[in-house]
Amino acid sequence: MLHNVRRVIAFFRRNRLDTELADEIRQHLELRRATLVDSGLSPADADREARRQFGNVTAIRERSRDEWGSATAVAVLQDLRFGVGLILRNPGLSTVVVLTIARVMVTQLYGVSRTDVVAFSCGAVFVMVCAAVSAWLPARRAATIDPVLALRSE
């Protein structure tokens, strides 16, 4: 429970967390660079070696965002924004699709009228949950697979 609360807080503080993470990475690289310069490397070589030893900065930032949990919420918001944009971009087609689905639901469900908001809302929520689960389960499994090992086995 506490973990989920932290994720919600991280979602609303993601800009601040990103700034703090960038500062930490910068300080870490500067410290490593200074150590390498003190050991006798030129500043350019020390900078390059510090970055090489530290690793891929972008990947580290993405992993940190994933741990904070804000990446999932941002992806959901982007999907919703994209869906609303598609509906607004072509309202005629959207209206036809909604009316067609309503007509099919009326013929398939006994006792549901075309204006039954509760039934259609429940149907929409059910479809969204099915879509989310069918996308989430394979993605979760794929996230546990090491890409290097997967490519080696082929």
Assess whether pLDDT exceeds 70 at residue 11: no
Give the rounded percent of residues in the chain with a pLDDT score beyond 70: 84
Classified as helix, coil or strand, 114 is coil
Write the DSSP string, 32-94: HHHHHHHTT--HHHHHHHHHHHH--HHHHHHHHHHHHTHHHHHHHHHHHHHHHHHHHH-HHHH
The per-residue pLDDT for 134 is 79
Q: Interior CA angle at 110 toward 109 and 113, to 5°?
A: 80
**pLDDT tens by residue, 130-144:** 887 777 777 777 778
Interatomic CA distance for residues 38 and 41, integer angstroms = 7
The arithmetic mean of pLDDT across residues 100-121, rounded, is: 75
Using alpha carbons, list the distances in angstroms from residue 69 to 23, 31, 133, 149.
Answer: 20, 29, 18, 26
Stretch among 19-28, 82-91, 100-109 having the lowest mean pLDDT: 100-109
Of 132, 10, 154, nearest to 79 by C-alpha is: 132
Query: What are the sequence ranges of the domains in the chain?
Result: 2-71, 90-153
**pLDDT tens by residue, 42-81:** 888 888 888 888 888 888 888 877 777 666 667 777 888 8
The per-residue pLDDT for 27 is 92
Q: Mark 77-102 as b/e (b = at least 16 C-beta within 10 Å).
A: eeeeeeeeeeeeeeeeeeeeeeeeeb
Residue 23 vs residue 151, higher pLDDT: 23
Assess whether pLDDT exceeds 70 at residue 12: no
Q: Interior CA angle at 72 toward 77 and 84, to 5°?
A: 20
In which band, very low, low, confident or very high, does the pLDDT at 94 lie, cut at 50, 70 and 90?
Answer: confident
CB within 8 A of 93, min separation 6: which ones? none
